A and B are shown apart, each in its own frame.
Chain A
């Protein structure tokens, strides 16, 4: 008989985030995004629309960018999760994409930035030689209401080009 987790009881969940195991408890309905923010204390992952459109909550799940608002924490057990907190080095050295977003003014208010950083990280790690058109298409996954996107495209492109140089 398959085990059923009752609706109103928080169950123990182990989430591996940025290489560290977080032992938390979550009701089945708790999204990964809310669990990261409220149980793991990792508030870098932002929540915008909560229905998969804006991409502010994008994290990497086993290397692929995914919407953490469309995933329940119980589903993410056993996966390698990476969030924006895992990008910079322990000494505070920024990740090349973080540097590039800064240098190219790829952000203004910053709300969408963690999502864009994780989306771009996933894209460049899995497709380091991605073409310009495909890169634009990939970046169209997320919404930014400040920059008009051009500076975000330039930032990500610069990291791609620097890595390929």
Chain B
């Protein structure tokens, strides 16, 4: 239960981090809050040769609203998303309002426990890529953009291309996930998040996020997003269930119909936390509840 030996670097600049990653490649692992990586190191499931600690780097923990997106710096701790505040285009820092401003605290409270949320970071969770992690589900559902830096370059990776399989992303060894861009949802969006775990703070067995956009004139759904975690190696979108919703007016019957399609659309594997059939049932329940929550109805 003690980690294997590793060499340690704690650069104080992004350039220093990128140099270290460039130099050590896949021998290196980035340490942010350490709330996922260090348990894996303590179990020796992860044995990096070099740890590059980004805890002393400035400039990675900002939140700002730019061009219709909320940019969340990689080192923003989970606790800050319980009451998100961001730098607005006019430079002032304000509490984040709107649909995203309500959604992020709803989701954040499911992330681990209070001490974990005091250390663990948004970017760390995304880069760790646990398929049941709340932020990964949110990123996939909203088509977030991951901003990856490397020495002398930057690229933007969409969530669909970012998550490859369990704990595996398309980040290259010499790349640092610096920030994640989440689209600001207009006030015609309704979003919900629901998760089942056996005890508070545990990893989700299944979690679902939904976001639907309502046509202002008709009240019908013009765009729908359903993302589910805990049923595959990555968080998945459910296009058939999404299609069930489009063109229809939200309501309990419609939500139940979409949830039924969702349950048929996933292909979960069973494990000691729940059989495949049980997870399928949970998908049905979590999708229906997330939709109801988004519509303002009790789940």
Chain A residues with a Cβ under 8 A of chain B: 1-8, 11, 27-29, 31, 34, 49-52, 55, 58, 61, 64-67, 69-72, 74-75, 119, 123, 137-138, 140-141
Contact = CB atoms under 8 A, between A and B. Distances in A.
B211 interface: no
A6 B79 CA distance: 33
A8 B79 CA distance: 35
- A interface majority secondary structure: mixed
A137 B199 CA distance: 11
Interface of B: 1-11, 16-17, 19-20, 31, 34-35, 38-39, 41-43, 49-51, 53, 55, 79, 109, 113-116, 118-119, 199-201
B43 to A, nearest CB: 6
Contacts of B43: 51
Contacts of B8: 4-5, 7, 11, 28, 72, 74
A141 B201 contact: yes
Given A2-B9, A137-B200, 15 more contacts: A2-B16, A5-B8, A27-B5, A29-B5, A52-B35, A55-B113, A64-B115, A70-B35, A70-B119, A75-B34, A119-B114, A140-B113, A140-B199, A140-B200, A141-B115
Given A70-B34, A71-B38, A75-B53, A29 B115 contact: no
A105 B53 CA distance: 42
A92 to B, nearest CB: 28
A2 B11 contact: yes
B47 to A, nearest CB: 10
Contact of B115 (A2, A4, A31, A66): A66
Given A2-B11, A52-B38, A141-B113, A67 B119 contact: yes
B4 A58 contact: no
9 contacts: A2-B16, A3-B9, A8-B5, A51-B1, A52-B35, A64-B119, A65-B114, A66-B119, A67-B116
B174 to A, nearest CB: 14
Most A CB within 10 A of own CB, among B20, B42, B115 = B115
Given A7-B6, A31-B2, A52 B116 contact: yes
Given A1-B19, A51-B39, A52-B38, A7 B5 contact: yes
B17 to A, nearest CB: 8
A29 B4 contact: yes
B267 to A, nearest CB: 30
A64 B113 CA distance: 13
Contacts of B7: 4-7, 28
